[in-house]
């Protein structure tokens, strides 16, 4: 028998790769709702589409905290998470949410009732909201990319992918809502469909870059990517993240245009793909083996 590579060892007392199991589905769901909400808000705001802006605020302001509290070991002390913005992206993100939601409400009220009358204060509120939304969209990626322990996450592409998925899912939800509820001009719908298509291509490129960088970075990254594209998680990763989340929406929008059926298929596909991506990226995260005696002796 030749032992040429460290295996996945689970909780056993053997040297090898170990899955991280601290961040799982509840945390992935919280990340999903946060990014989806901020992306939907920004895309809807660009098109002055109030229903989408409200849904975005609900997603980030209600869905995300709910699943974060589900994940927390000590939910009653969760307020303490704001205490270290000087060093922790979790703190920065939480503060951004606390800014984004109330300021976003003010922007919605301004769009609906024009309370600012186009004055400086209204523009300032909008600027703060957009800045906070950008942080909400990306901080989860920054938090993950700062985990040097897990090579799959430890890349500058992680916040970029967060932003791409936030805008992609945001455009999907906005297009879906506008197609069902109305409220957008036909020209806006066509433009939104083009943005949607463009974001699909951009997200695909970022996904492939992320996998390529992780695979060619460290052995831990290689292990994670192998799990995603060849082994345990390959079926949901290919089927849901790529198939339902990228290919299906591309086909639906390319051939179906802005017809309701095409938009429904594309939007649902993107949401399934995005959620699956969030869950699988957590599940495929592995710690590298601490130290290899055999490697030091040149035996591996």
Is residue 182 left, alpha or beta, with left meaning phi > 0 and alpha meaning psi from -120 to 50?
Answer: left
Selected from 62, 190, 261, 299, the binder of other proteins by CB under 8 A is: 299
Choices 49-57, 58-66, 139-147, 185-193 (CB under 8 A): range interacting with other proteins? 139-147
Residues 54-73 that bind other proteins (CB under 8 A): 71-73
Decide: is 298 part of the binding site for other proteins (CB under 8 A).
no
Handedness of CA 108, 113, 116, 117 (dihedral sign): positive
Q: Which is nearer to other proteins, 149 or 259 (CB)?
A: 149
Binding mask 266-285 for other proteins (x = CB under 8 A): -------------------x
Decide: is 15 part of the binding site for other proteins (CB under 8 A).
yes
Decide: is 18 part of the binding site for other proteins (CB under 8 A).
yes
Decide: is 119 part of the binding site for other proteins (CB under 8 A).
no
**Residue 157 is encoded by which pair of tokens?**
């592409």
Q: Kind and range of the H or E element at 19? A: strand 18-19
Q: Which is nearer to other proteins, 9 or 50 (CB)?
A: 9
Selected from 111, 147, 226, 234, the binder of other proteins by CB under 8 A is: 147
Q: How far is CA 20 from each of CA 169, 218, 245, 281, rounded to the nearest angstrom?
A: 27, 17, 25, 11
Decide: is 235 part of the binding site for other proteins (CB under 8 A).
no
- Please tell me the distance from the alpha carbon of residue 272 to that of residue 245, in angstroms, as a whole number: 6
SS3 of 198-267: HHHHHHHHHHHHHHHHHHCCCHHHHHHHHHHHCCCCHHHHHHHHHHHHHHHHHHHHHHHCCCHHHHHHHH
- Please tell me the distance from the alpha carbon of residue 288 to that of residue 105, in angstroms, as a whole number: 44
**Residue 58 is encoded by which pair of tokens?**
């609900």
How many other β-carbons are positioned within 10 Å of the β-carbon of residue 21? 11
Choices 43-51, 231-239, 272-280, 288-296 (CB under 8 A): range interacting with other proteins? 288-296
- Please tell me the distance from the alpha carbon of residue 58 to that of residue 33, in angstroms, as a whole number: 9
Decide: is 118 part of the binding site for other proteins (CB under 8 A).
no
Decide: is 117 part of the binding site for other proteins (CB under 8 A).
no
Decide: is 20 part of the binding site for other proteins (CB under 8 A).
yes
Decide: is 120 part of the binding site for other proteins (CB under 8 A).
no
Decide: is 296 part of the binding site for other proteins (CB under 8 A).
yes
> Which residues contact other proteins by CB under 8 A?
1-3, 6, 11, 13-15, 18, 20, 22-23, 27, 71-75, 77-78, 80-84, 87-91, 94, 143-144, 146-150, 153, 285, 287-288, 290-294, 296-297, 299-300
């Amino acid at each position: 028998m030749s032992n040429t590579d460290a295996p996945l060892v689970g909780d056993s007392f053997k040297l090898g790769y170990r899955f991280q199991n601290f961040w799982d589905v509840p945390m992935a769901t919280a990340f999903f709702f946060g990014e989806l909400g901020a992306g939907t808000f920004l895309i809807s705001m660009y098109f002055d589409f109030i229903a989408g802006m409200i849904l975005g605020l609900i997603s980030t302001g209600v869905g995300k905290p709910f699943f974060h509290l589900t994940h927390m070991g000590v939910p009653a002390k969760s307020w303490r998470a704001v205490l270290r913005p000087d060093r922790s992206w979790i703190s920065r993100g939480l503060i951004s949410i606390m800014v984004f939601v109330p300021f976003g409400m003010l922007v919605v009220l301004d769009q609906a009732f024009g309370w600012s009358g186009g004055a400086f204060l209204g523009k300032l509120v909008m600027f703060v909201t957009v800045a906070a939304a950008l942080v909400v969209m990306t901080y989860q990626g920054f938090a993950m990319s700062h985990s040097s322990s897990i090579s799959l996450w430890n890349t500058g592409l992680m916040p970029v992918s967060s932003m791409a998925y936030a805008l992609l899912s945001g455009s999907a939800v906005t297009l879906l809502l506008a197609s069902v509820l109305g409220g957008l001009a036909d020209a806006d719908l066509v433009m939104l469909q083009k943005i949607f298509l463009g974001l699909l291509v951009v997200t695909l490129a970022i996904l492939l870059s992320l996998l390529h960088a992780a695979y060619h970075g460290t052995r831990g990254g290689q292990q994670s990517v192998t799990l995603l594209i060849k082994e345990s998680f390959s079926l949901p990763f290919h089927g849901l993240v790529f198939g339902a989340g990228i290919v299906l929406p591309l086909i639906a929008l390319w051939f179906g245009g802005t017809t309701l059926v095409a938009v429904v298929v594309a939007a649902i596909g993107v949401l399934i793909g995005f959620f699956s991506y969030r869950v699988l990226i957590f599940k495929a995260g592995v710690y590298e083996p601490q130290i290899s005696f055999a490697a030091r002796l040149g035996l591996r």
